[in-house]
Amino acid sequence: MRVLFVASEAYPLAKTGGLGDVCRALPNALMEKGVDVRLLLPAYPSALETLVGGRVEASLDGVLGVPDGRLISGRLPNSHLPTWLVDAPSLYRRPGGPYTDEAGADWADNALRFAYLSQVGALIGLGLAAYWKADVVHANDWQTGLLPMMLRADGRRRPRTVFTIHNLAFQGLFPLETARGLGVRDEDLTSDGCEFYGQASFLKAGVRFADRVTTVSPTYAREILTPDFGVGFDGLLRERGADFRGILNGVEEALWNPATDPRLPALFSARDMSGKPACKAALQRELGLPVAPDVPLVGFASRLTQQKMADVLVEALPWFAKVGAQLAIVAQGDPAIAAALAEVGRLYPDNLAVHIGYEEPLAHRLYAGADMMLAPARFEPCGLTQLYAMRYGALPIVRRTGGLADTVIDADAETLAARTATGFIFDEVTAGGMIGAAERAFALHRQPLAWRRLQLQAMGRDFGWDASATEYLRLYRDLLDLTEPRPRPAEPVDVAEEPPTIAL
């Protein structure tokens, strides 16, 4: 079975959040199951720098009127995953992030940048851009939403399509005229197509036209069928009926393992936790907090957005300081929230450490050094933070929503007695709700044996990708009506030297 996995980020080529982790881990897990899976990403500068063994495979001149396109093939570092980068210097080679400029403003040509990625994905899928064609094209989030529509519109024998919603809040909205200029047909610019309240929504194109639609946890899949969480998509998703479902994300265990993680000052595991206090002390030193082994250290590694209740966190900060806890924040996002966090942080230097910025290695050290990780959210499609936290023996404090509700077991009288508890859950979207759960966590943290048991329970949960990758595989097979994938060699398959000509 040949699967083309198309995304706007995949660690370490590009990552702004959980999407980057999943779009690396899931194809890797599928490859381990014998699927001939290939990844397609834009050739951002970071991706070109990181790709291993990159070489030009085909010219893409003229696709969507972009003059300088090329397809570069290589593989992901520390992985055999064959990876294509679509290189169009005029679209992707610029400083800043995958979606925004250095000041945080969306790139003005994002519609073209991601329509182009989708168009090249469609060409590869059909076998028109490389000596390979896909049985299934798996697109992710709005940036690749046009892809299922482009393939549906193609009269030739086409690959089946799967579209995964990682976050319904990002809808890829552009003026109808912009979409028309990108070749979207008039009949697709209606409410039966990708028109959404007078604009074109790339996300809607994916949800509407993919053969199957998934999201990243069963609870979020149920929530977004309701008007409260569906943000205008609930009706459309309900229409998709059994073609829409939730499959839980996992943890890439090779990358997120405190027993082997090269970024940690000391290693530890459920069996031997002796390295964790050293990680905590090193983190306290690194962030300028007093080195205090018994003070509860709470971590927060997140985007600073409404989704993550970062505004509510600002209100709760003084409480953490007043009860003598330590809170270590590694986060980036809304400049006003960042400024507010930094300001309160300066008032309580012994209790609050605020690091504004995106720093992957520091996030690993934070999970390892923290006693608890705060992962609140108004809505959460899956959330990986709480999964990494559990694996690193930092008990998650989360709100009961989406994937957080699916993965954390609240420590109440019953689950403590049954020895199944793995964290602390609250319900209200308020500072009081967050504080209530933190209070319960601190009370248990004062009981070392009870705490140790909770850590063991959290670290013992299996959130590996195997089960979920098997579910995706079943979904692909259902689509193709295949029974077994063809085995593929462990090494990346070499592609032909000669660029094929592209029929457009």
Please report, as ranges, the residues that interact with ligand ADP according to CB under 6 A.
17-19, 21, 301-303, 330-332, 358-360, 363, 382-385
> For ligand GLC, which is the closer residue by CB, 264 or 382?
382
Residue with smaller CB distance to ligand GLC, 331 or 384: 384
Name 462's Cβ contacts closer than 8 Å, sequence gap at least 6: none
249 counts as binding ligand GLC under rule CB under 6 A: yes
How is residue 296 written in tokens? Answer: 């509860």
The answer to whether the beta carbons of residues 221 and 215 sit under 8 Å apart is yes
Q: How far is the CB of 337 from ligand ADP (least distance, A)?
A: 13
Strands 70-75 and 82-87: antiparallel
Buried b (16+ CB within 10 A) or exposed e, 83-117: bbbbbbeebbeeeebbbeeeeeeebeebbbbbbbb
CB of 389 to ligand ADP, least distance (A): 9
For ligand GLC, the closer of residues 224 and 295 by Cβ is 224
Question: Which residue from 43, 112, 18 is spatially nearest to 380, judged by alpha carbons?
Answer: 18
203 makes contact with ligand GLC (CB under 6 A): no
Sign for the CA dihedral angle at 193, 198, 199, 203 comes to negative
Q: Which is nearer to ligand ADP, 119 or 468 (CB)?
A: 468
383 touching ligand GLC, by CB under 6 A: yes
The least CB distance from residue 190 to ligand ADP, in Å, is 32
| Binds ligand GLC (CB under 6 A): choice among 9, 261, 371, 380 | 380
**Closest to ligand GLC by CB, 166 or 276:** 166
Place of tokens 């003059």: 67
- From the list 13-21, 29-37, 48-56, 490-498, the region that binds ligand GLC by CB under 6 A is 13-21
Residue 381 binds ligand GLC (CB under 6 A): yes
Q: Return phi, psi of residue 451, to 5°.
A: -65, -45
Q: For residue 98, which of 35, 178, 8, 228 has the smallest C-alpha distance?
A: 8
Residue 251 DSSP label: B
Phi, psi of 184 (to 5 degrees): -70, 130
What's the min distance (Å) between Cβ of 167 and ligand ADP? 6
- 216 binding partner (options ligand ADP, ligand GLC, none; Cβ < 5 to 8 Å by kind): ligand GLC
384 is a site residue for ligand GLC (CB under 6 A): yes
- List residues near ligand GLC by CB under 6 A: 17-19, 22, 166-167, 216, 249, 380-384, 403
